[in-house]
Amino acid sequence: MSLVLHSADETSLLLTAREAIVSRIQARQPSWPAYGPVAEEHYGAFVTLHKTSPDGRRLLRGCIGRMSSGLPLRTTIRDMALAAAFEDPRFPALNKDELAGIDIEISVLSPFEPCSPEDVVSGEHGVYLTRGYHSGVFLPQVAVEQGWDRHELLEQLCAKAGLEGGAYMAAGASLFRFTATVFGELDRPASHR
């Protein structure tokens, strides 16, 4: 079940993510917004950075998350924003010239629940697969963005985890599903970014 966040909560968490990144780039102390009670709760979260290509496509620029957290949500968002901007191994560290062209999206995760492949609804559930030292995760919105049905989602999850196709049904594999409350700067008027 997804967490219900009020618009003010979403806005403060987005401001937190942006302030974490901007203050690091500007080498200054951050100035955090006011928070509601939900910011003190413990949830896993991912922070995703996008940029727009010259031909208008929205491209991934960084994404890092924590599937569960013993820290307040506001702290998890700060940490994951910094990690997405400066530590995602797929991209160089974000620089000041890119900052204005980045939009931020946050996914706050529900607790994970073990499931069978038939329990996964593509586009509604995120999925997490583990087997031995291998693991992979997709947020719920990835299946929608890629146009994947359940089978494609699970096969791509195996590939992401470095496992053979169908590994989600193999002995020793554990499959989990979860939902996410997803919101971003593009969902808000420019005056609230």
What is the structure's pLDDT at 169? 94
Does a structural domain hold residue 92? Answer: yes
Helical spans, DSSP H, in 26-149: 73-86, 140-146
The last residue of a domain, from among 73, 88, 109: 109
pLDDT given at position 53: 83
Output the pTM of the full model.
0.84
CATH of the domain at 133: 3.30.1490.150
Q: What is the CATH number of the domain that holds 30?
A: 3.30.700.20
pLDDT tens, residue by residue, 167-185: 999 999 999 999 999 999 9
For residues 33 and 10, give the distance between their C-alpha atoms in angstroms, rounded to a whole number.
Answer: 11
* Enclosing domain of residue 173: 113-178
Give tens-digit pLDDT for 122-152. 999 999 999 999 999 999 989 998 999 999 9
Each residue's pLDDT tens digit, 50-108: 998 888 888 999 999 998 889 999 999 999 999 999 999 999 999 999 998 999 999 99
Residue 186 domain flag: no
